């Protein structure tokens, strides 16, 4: 999966969880401040990323996922790309 595809997949996953149009979601957007996520929604996004990318995201990694771009970078690292 190239980087652009990865960005798209992550954006779509986030959009599904927060019920927003993927086109309105940008890489530098912060989950809490910009997208209005509540704590359980962030956990729901983590669950969605786990399901989409077939990875497990341990608790100690979750706090670092503050923006959509953070999530893309994190998944990229975990997929070894």
Partner 1 sequence: MSAGAGQVGQRARAAITGIGLVSPLGTGTRKSWDALLAGTSGTGPITRFDASRFGVRAAGEVKDLEPELYVPRGRIRHMDRFSLLGACAARLAVMDASIEDGSLDPERTAVVMGVGLGGLSTIETVHEALRERGPRFVNPYFIPMIIPNMAAGWVSMLCGIQGESLTVATACASGAHALGEALALLRRGTADVVLAGGAEAAVTALGVAGFAAMRALSTRDVEPSMASCPFDEDRDGFVMAEGAAVLVVERLECARARGARIYALLAGYGASSDAHDLTKPDPDGRGALLAMKRALGDAGLRPESLDHVNAHATGTPLGDRIEAAALGELLGDRRSLVPVTSTKGSTGHLLGAAGALEAGFLALGLHHQVAPVTLNLNRPDPRCVLDHVMGEPRRCSIGVAMTNAFGFGGTNACLVMTRHEE
Residue 2 Cβ, how far from partner 1 at the closest point, in Å? 27
User: Of the two residues 7 and 15, which places its CB atom closer to partner 1 in the complex?
Assistant: 15
Least separation in angstroms between CB 10 and partner 1: 18
Instruction: Note the helical H segments in the chain.
Output: 3-18, 39-53, 59-62, 68-78
Closest by CA to 7, choosing from 78, 63, 70, is 70
Shortest reach from residue 45's CB to partner 1, in Å: 10
Write the Ramachandran bin of 29: left for phi over 0, alpha for psi from -120 to 50, otherwise beta. Answer: beta
Give whichever of 27 and 52 is closer to partner 1, judged by the CB atom: 52
Strand partners, 67: 30
Give 7 or 46: the residue with its C-beta nearer to partner 1.
46
**What residues make contact with partner 1 under the rule CB under 8 A?**
18-19, 40, 43-44, 47, 50-51, 56-57
């Amino acid at each position: 999966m190239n980087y652009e595809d990865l960005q798209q997949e992550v954006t779509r996953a986030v959009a599904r969880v927060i019920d927003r149009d993927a086109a309105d979601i940008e890489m530098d957007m912060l989950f809490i401040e910009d997208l209005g996520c509540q704590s359980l929604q962030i956990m729901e996004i983590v669950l969605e990323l786990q399901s989409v990318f077939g990875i497990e995201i341990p608790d100690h990694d979750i706090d670092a996922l503050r923006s959509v771009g953070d999530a893309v970078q994190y998944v990229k690292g975990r997929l070894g790309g």
